[in-house]
Chains A and B, each alone.
Chain A
């Protein structure tokens, strides 16, 4: 019998634990040209804000050893166009859809979440309270336990299906923020968003990103993210979606062993849009070799 890859978070069942990370798969249209999205556990959309955001002027990305620094600036179509132009496509996809939400005030989060509550296509929402490269909003909410709780609680009031809080690594104690999100009514946690970083051109002495700071992603941040997942797993009761540098099935297993229930693949999609398919295939093989019936048997099983 083939190993079972199904997993469940806050009552929502996923075909497998492999999701796309927000900002790394757009609204799904481009990936769907390459393979059916039903291969994914879930598609997590780009952050949706109340208004259209054109994003930062280029250059927006810099390649770093084992990673990518980006300052896209939450470029997105805004909630109106998302509902009108992107949802009809997403409704046809046979995968779970998690809509990532960003705001620069709590009211903005509330309005976007409330509009999404009426959109049955959004199986869950993921609150981006941790974007490191916009000046207003984003990370400000996710670096203070109080604001985290307040933002999640405000979204909780208007969105009736499960809410995931996506946490920033740029904090002193991520477990404290995780507990605040739980207090606010979050059903799950995505750990981690990108790590603040920067880079400079040594000839012009100018920063390589127009925005100066960016978010570091890719394999370079995997050990950081793993440690954070491990820390939160031990100190908080919410299910965890692990994010950071996942490129192949081995990375996924590490995250599950440290306590993640599912994972999101981000930067690796830029290198290989089909990475999730390969991961799923290899994960099945691994489970069979280890004689495990379900992928859930790996969760939190690290031998300390």
Chain B
């Protein structure tokens, strides 16, 4: 117990005094592009931060093989706004406007991998909004799920769930 506490104190004092902690962190995307970010940004990404903590701040270049150089800037942008406390409904609306369905899903997986709670919550809502009121076929295409019901089974299910099939939007084919 005492050991744990002292090691915590230790790490605290390191992060305060160690000059390397104020140095930038390099995030390397899956396609080998390097993004330099402030350590505060890295703090938002739980996965990255725990990597830094584990090596006592000595390693500042972190490979993120699951995230492409296309998605990483979005993640960084969101984290920057989050630290600055500037996440507003307007910003989120603008942010999501730039993303197509494919990008939302990729970002979502990236947020999951990096474990960024706020971004995950936000994107969960975006995904929920994008599949709400959509047809079953649309949702299947959206997630790439194959229908494994027989036509009879599906018809029966639809009948049982008739109360849910009100107000379904027509599918727009030009998504993605």
Tell whether A and B belong to one assembly.
no
